[in-house]
Amino acid sequence: MKKLKTLLFLFMAILMATGCKKDNETPILDATTEEAASIMATSFCTGNSGTLTQAEDAVSISDDMMVKSALYDSSFTITSATGALITYEYQVHYAYGFQNPNFFQMTYDASGQYNSPNVSAGVTADGSLSVTGFLTGDYYSVNGQSGREGTFTMKIGNQNSINGTVTTTFTNFKFSKATWLLESGTATIAVNGSTSAGKSFGFTGTLVYLGNYNASLTISGKTFYINVTTGVVS
């Protein structure tokens, strides 16, 4: 009986130690959500020439076009400024033009790499954006979809290496005709792929522009706040 009590005591001690260890570990779900938020923010922000940059470019190009019936394309290389928070270099191709007097369309593809405080990546990208609102009102409206695919090396959370895709869908992003500045809009951003640990990685976030270069980003019920210029997540 004494031996049995000793064995039971040891068994309970092991269970308690195991339970304490699990409590102290970083929950995989929370860490992965944080990683997803950083991938979404850096893929979206203008400081990384992200998808918001393409929306801004579509608005400025459409506003500047003198010949409304012509179709154009251009290829160029863009690099980050010296001392920028996010460093990058991309090779970019734009094709654009008016389909009718109130509908401008721009498609694009790009490839390159970037390095930010939370994540670095080598990516390829493509997308198609439309701009409307030329005939009436005070705002241009941008809708469309953009995708990025590549390997994302995380510096936070579980510090995974993630092979995956980032898909952004714009819904009524409104830009002032007077200033070209973003005034409002909602985007759905989905990240899907697999991690270096062999785990599937799939999250969908809803981004709502709040003004003053800030947006909320809600993923699986958890809300982050991002600066759409720098990609900083809080």
DSSP assignment string, 92-140: EEEEEEEEETTEEEEEEEEEEEEE-SSEEEEEEEEEEEEEE-SSSSSEE
Two structure tokens written together for 147: 């995708």
The whole-number pLDDT of residue 31 equals 43
Length reported for the chain: 234
The whole-number pLDDT of residue 210 equals 98
| Residues 151-183: tens digit of each pLDDT | 999 999 888 899 999 999 999 999 999 999 999
Phi and psi, residue 55, nearest 5°: -65, -45
The whole-number pLDDT of residue 3 equals 44
Whole-prediction pTM: 0.85
Separation of alpha carbons 124 and 55, rounded Å: 17
The whole-number pLDDT of residue 70 equals 78
Cβ neighbors of 117 (< 8 A, separation 6 or more) are 85, 86, 155, 232
Separation of alpha carbons 53 and 94, rounded Å: 12
Classify the phi-psi angles of 134: left when phi > 0, otherwise alpha if psi is within -120 to 50, otherwise beta. Answer: alpha
Question: What residue ranges of the chain have pLDDT lower than 70?
Answer: 1-31, 66-67
The whole-number pLDDT of residue 104 equals 96
> What is the strand order of the sheet 71-79 is part of?
71-79, 87-100, 103-115, 119-132, 139-154, 161-176, 182-195, 200-211, 214-219, 222-227
| Residues 86-101: tens digit of each pLDDT | 999 999 999 999 999 9
The whole-number pLDDT of residue 66 equals 67
